[in-house]
Structure 1
Amino acid sequence: MTRRSFSLMPFYRLMSLVISGLVLCLSVSMANAADVPSPDKLIQSLFTEVNERVQKDHSKIEADKTYLITIGNEVLLPYVSFETMAKQILGKNWRKITPEQRSRYTDAFRNRVSVSLVSQYDPQKRYDLEVTGSRMNSKGDRAAVNSVVTEASGTNKYNISYKLFVDRKAGNWKVYDVVVEGISVLQSFKTASAEDFKRNGIEYMISQLESSDASAELNAKANSKAQ
C-alpha cells in the first residue's frame, strides 16, 4: 500500500475531481490488455503527477482558475470515457435520442463537470491517498481500485473506488465510474435522470447542463477576486 499527498478538495463533494485525480497517471500506451500496467501501480503514482502539474502551473491557476479546464482538456480527456458515462446515465433512453443529441448531451455533461471542478477547487486543502486494494476481471480489461482519502488533519476519511476499462480502440485505460462511500456516481445520476427524461425530455436535460448557472458562479468569483 502506498500513501501520497495532494492539494485537492474532498472527493465526496465533487466527482469530477476524483476523476481528474485518477486519470492523470493513465497516460500509457497499450497494444492490448496484456500490456496494461497493474491499475494499483498506476494509482500509486497518480497524485504525485497531479501535484506536479498543479505546482508547475500554479501562477496560471492563481491568475485564472478556469485554467484548470485547460489542464483537464490536455491531460484528462483521453483517459475518461464521458460517452460511456453519458450512455450509462441515460440507460435505455440513450437509444431513444438522436446521435446529435447524444453528442450534445455528452459534451454538456463533460463541460459541466469541468466547470464544477474549477468552482470547487481549493489549492489550500491537503489530503492523503492510500491505495488499499485492486482487482481485475479474468480478461484483464476491467479493473476496480480501492482507496482511502484522509484529510491532512486526520479528522475525516473517505472510501473511494475507481472503475476503469481498457479502451482497445484508443489504446489506454479509461475511467467510467467512481464509487464514493459505497455510492456509485453513475447510479446516482442514472436514478435522477430517468425521472427527468420521463417528465421533461432530453432537450430540457441538455439545456439544464448547458445552463449559465455554473459559469455565472465562476465569473462572479473571478470578478470578486479582481476587485
Structure 2
Amino acid sequence: MKRLFVISLFIIISFNSIAVEEQLSPYNVINNTGNNLFTRIATEQELLKTSPEVMIEIVEQELMPAIDYKYAAFKILGKHLKKMSKVQKQNFIISMRSYLVKTYATALNQYNNQVVSFEPERPTNGAKIVPVDAIISNINAPDITITFQMRQNRKSKQWKAYDMIIEGVSLLATKRAEINSRIAKSDIDQVTLELAVIRK
C-alpha cells in the first residue's frame, strides 16, 4: 500500500509530452504538465468511474512521451547492458515502458485531489541533470517533498524525468536492485517477459 502511495505521488507530478518544448526549463515542464494532467483527469472523472481503463489512454497521451523511459531502463540495467544484444536491449525498453504505463495508470486511479505545489523557476546554469522539488499536500497528513531528476536530451534539448526521490529513496535505484535480483535468479530474457505481462 505504501509502495502504491509513493508511485501515486510520482504520477501526481508527472509530465505531459504535448507541452514539452525546447525553450521550457525543467521547472516549467513540471508546472505546466501538472496543471494539464489533472485538468484532463478532472474532465474524464465521470468516465473513469465506470471505465478505469481509460486511465491507460490518459497515461499514454499525457505522460509517456515525456518520460525518459529509455534512459531509465538503461540505468536500471546497469552492468548488464554490456552483455546484452541490441535486440535484448530494445525488448527490455519496450517491456519497461509497458510496465510503467500500467503502474502509472493504477496509481492515477488512486488520485484523490491532492494539492501539488512546484519549485519556482531558477537558472539551470547549463546543467544537463537538474533536481526539481514538488510538495504534495494532503488533508490531515504531513506535506511530502519529492525530488524529480530531470535530464535534458542532447539532441532535442527537451527535459524529461527519469527518476524521483522521496524520503531519501530513489525509485530508480529501488527498481534496479529488484531487477538485478531477478536477473540473478533467471536471466534477462525471462525478466523482460515478466515485466511485459505484469498487471498492476
Q: TM-score, normalised by structure 1?
A: 0.75
Contact 1:40 1:133 in 2 (8 A): yes
2:10 aligns to what? 18
Contact 1:136 1:142 in 2 (8 A): no
Query: RMSD of the alignment, in Å?
Result: 2.8
Contact 1:27 1:79 in 2 (8 A): no
1:36 aligns to what? 24
2:136 equivalent among 149, 154, 162 = 149
Percent identity reads 17
Letter of the 1:164 partner, please give it.
M
Number of residue pairs aligned between Structure 1 and Structure 2: 200
User: 1:26–1:149: structure 2 CA closer, same or farther, 3 Å change rule?
Assistant: farther
Contact 1:24 1:49 in 2 (8 A): yes
Listed as ranges, the matches of 1:42-81 within 5 Å are: 42-81=29-68
- What do residues 89-117 of structure 1 show as CA deviations (whole Å, max 9, x unaligned)? 01010121112111221121221222122
Distance 2:53 2:96 in 1: 17
Contact 2:20 2:158 in 1 (8 A): yes
User: 1:26–1:172: structure 2 CA closer, same or farther, 3 Å change rule?
Assistant: farther
Distance 2:110 2:173 in 1: 29
CA-CA distance at 1:211 after TM superposition: 3.0
Contact 2:27 2:132 in 1 (8 A): yes
CA-CA distance at 1:46 after TM superposition: 3.3
1:175 equivalent among 161, 172, 176 = 161
Listed as ranges, the matches of 1:118-197 within 5 Å are: 118-122=105-109, 125-132=112-119, 138-151=125-138, 153-197=139-183
2:195 aligns to what? 209
1:91 aligns with 2:78: yes
Distance 2:35 2:76 in 1: 31
Letter of the 2:16 partner, please give it.
L
Letter of the 2:131 partner, please give it.
A
TM superposition outliers: structure 1 runs of 4+ over 4 Å: 9-12, 132-137
